[in-house]
Structure 1
Amino acid sequence: MRSALLRALRGVRWYVRELTDESAYDRYVAHVRKEHPQAPVPSRRDFERMRTERQEADPRQGFRCC
């Protein structure tokens, strides 16, 4: 019973992280370490800044509300 509950909670946590794109940094770090092992891994703050700048520069993203 307890293992089923823990498995369900892990599933919910995974789903929420994917839905909110909270796991994007983790995926990016895994990609950089695998594909470019010599490259420095940016901090989460730098990653979020790069991601925001890329989104704002893309005309398909439309305007930013906030």
Structure 2
Amino acid sequence: MSTAAGIRRAASRFRWFWREASGEATYDRYVAHARAHDPEAKVLSRREFERQRTDAREADPRDGFRCC
């Protein structure tokens, strides 16, 4: 493997890790699931999805009080 190929591979792995850690990949999985389950259904926009996700997380009593 050449140095350039190794750098590309490392960058690809880092990008995957960052998207998973930051939650960015969650929306992509939601869209893929929604389209696979019912292609005609309305898919939430990213903003709507994140709002719904945040509301659900904050309403969960197991998480306790969240100030931020």
TM-score in terms of structure 1 length: 0.89
Higher alpha-carbon Rg:
2
TM-score in terms of structure 2 length: 0.87
CA-based RMSD: 1.0
Instruction: Give the one of 14, 18, 22 matched to 1:16.
Output: 18
Q: CA deviation at 1:65?
A: 2.2
| Gap runs ≥5 in structure 1 | none
Count of aligned pairs between the two proteins:
66
The residue number in structure 1 matching 2:49 is: 47
Equivalent pairs: percent with the same residue? 55
- List 4+ stretches of structure 1 deviating above 2 A: none
Per-residue CA distance 1:14-53 (angstroms, 9 max, x = gap): 0011112121111111110111211111110000011011
| Gap runs ≥5 in structure 2 | none
SS in 1 for 2:24: coil
